[in-house]
């Protein structure tokens, strides 16, 4: 396999929201990209997405010496991976679709190329059986949108070579991401499991009448979420312990946390609960359409990304 900092040409399989975002990032990092999707309309979608993302990428210090048109569109995944040194797969989140795709490209995948799947919850060990290039495949799960959010979760399957995991970590770092190594497989990997745990209690708060959908969101965005942009929950609670750090934090608050955990629920997403959530976010949106909500999000997200990327902002 080529060294991560020597990669020049990559393939993106699946050109929905995630694939288009990956394409914009790869282009901004000076790579040429072969984009594949079975839907012919995806070509125009990717073109619009890249054009819309380009000013943002430039603002974040990328794209200065890159070209937004260094990509080609293919209906065939075999054609797309033909010369690829790295492949980012973004097919629909269904095991049978991804396995069929892997079987189709297996023989065509260049012998030194690495394939990473953007799968948000499937496990690579379930995708690898019968694939000759399985040792060069791993999960490379981004967060939406990948051209903005730095996190990538890298997880190997049972047939993944350790060198493949190391290579993926190095490659994602090279293109400006913040990859983490998930050391064993679990449905949903890590970050989505953390999100799911929080959302479970957020929904429980709504269905039990503790708070409205909007107030639950405000409880995070105006509270812990601000701290979490700087550091995660463990380090946040370490600071919460004052001079005694985590030692004092646990000594003082362990009984309280254990008591709170015992009162937390696991709501079912019944039709009635789903309707309550849908109506709640509609009320919170106050008539803003999706494009406006995205702009409002990015208006906060971009300065935050600029801030946390400054030297000394991370340990």
pLDDT in tens, the chain (315 residues): 779 999 999 999 999 999 999 999 999 999 999 999 999 999 999 999 999 999 999 999 998 889 999 999 999 999 999 999 999 999 999 999 999 999 999 999 999 999 999 999 999 999 999 999 999 999 999 999 999 999 999 999 999 999 999 999 999 999 999 999 999 999 999 999 999 999 999 999 999 999 999 999 999 999 999 999 989 999 999 999 999 999 999 999 999 999 999 999 999 999 999 999 999 999 999 999 999 999 999 999 999 999 887 766 654
Domain positions in the chain are: 4-181, 191-308
CATH 3.40.50.720 fits 4-181, yes or no: yes
DSSP per position, the chain:
---GGG--EEEEE--SHHHHHHHHHHHHTT-EEEEE-S-TTHHHHHHHHHHHHHHHHHHTT-STT--TT-EEEES-HHHHHTT-SEEEE---S-HHHHHHHHHHHTTTS-TT-EEEE--SS--HHHH-TT-TTGGGEEEEEE-SSTTT--EEEEEE-TT--HHHHHHHHHHHHHTT-EEEE--S--TTTTHHHHHHHHHHHHHHHHHTTSS-HHHHHHHHHTTHHHHHTTS-HHHHHHHHTGGGHHHHHHHHHHHHHHHHHHH-------HHHHHHHHHHHHHHHTT--HHHHHHHHHHHHHHHHHHHTSTTS--
Class of CATH domain 191-308? mainly alpha
């Amino acid at each position: 396999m080529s060294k991560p900092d020597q990669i020049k040409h990559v393939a993106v399989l699946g050109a929905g929201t995630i694939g288009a975002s990956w394409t914009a990032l790869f282009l901004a990092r000076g790579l040429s990209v072969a984009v594949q999707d079975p839907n012919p309309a995806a070509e125009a979608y990717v073109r619009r997405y890249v054009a819309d993302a380009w000013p943002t990428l430039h603002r974040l210090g990328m794209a200065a010496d890159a070209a937004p048109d260094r990509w080609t569109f293919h209906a065939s995944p075999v054609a797309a991976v033909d010369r690829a040194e790295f492949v980012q797969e973004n097919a629909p989140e269904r095991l049978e679709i991804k396995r069929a795709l892997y079987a189709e490209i297996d023989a065509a995948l260049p012998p030194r190329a690495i394939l990473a799947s953007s799968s948000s919850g499937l496990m690579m060990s379930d995708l690898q059986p019968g694939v000759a290039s399985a040792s060069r495949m791993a999960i490379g799960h981004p967060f939406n949108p990948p051209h903005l959010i730095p996190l990538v979760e890298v997880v190997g399957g049972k047939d993944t070579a350790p060198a493949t995991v190391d290579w993926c970590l190095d490659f994602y770092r090279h293109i400006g991401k913040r990859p983490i190594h998930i050391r064993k497989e679990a449905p949903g990997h890590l970050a989505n499991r953390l999100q799911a745990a929080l959302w479970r209690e957020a929904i429980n708060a709504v269905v039990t009448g503790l708070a409205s959908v909007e107030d639950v969101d405000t409880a995070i965005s105006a509270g812990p979420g601000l701290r979490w942009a700087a550091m995660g929950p463990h380090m946040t609670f370490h600071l919460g312990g004052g001079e005694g750090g985590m030692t004092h934090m646990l000594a003082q608050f362990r009984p309280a946390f254990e008591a709170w955990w015992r009162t937390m629920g696991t709501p079912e997403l019944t039709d009635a609960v789903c309707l309550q959530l849908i109506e709640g976010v509609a009320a919170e949106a106050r008539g803003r359409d999706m494009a406006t909500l995205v702009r409002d999000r990015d208006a906060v997200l971009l300065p935050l990304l600029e801030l946390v990327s400054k030297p000394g902002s991370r340990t």
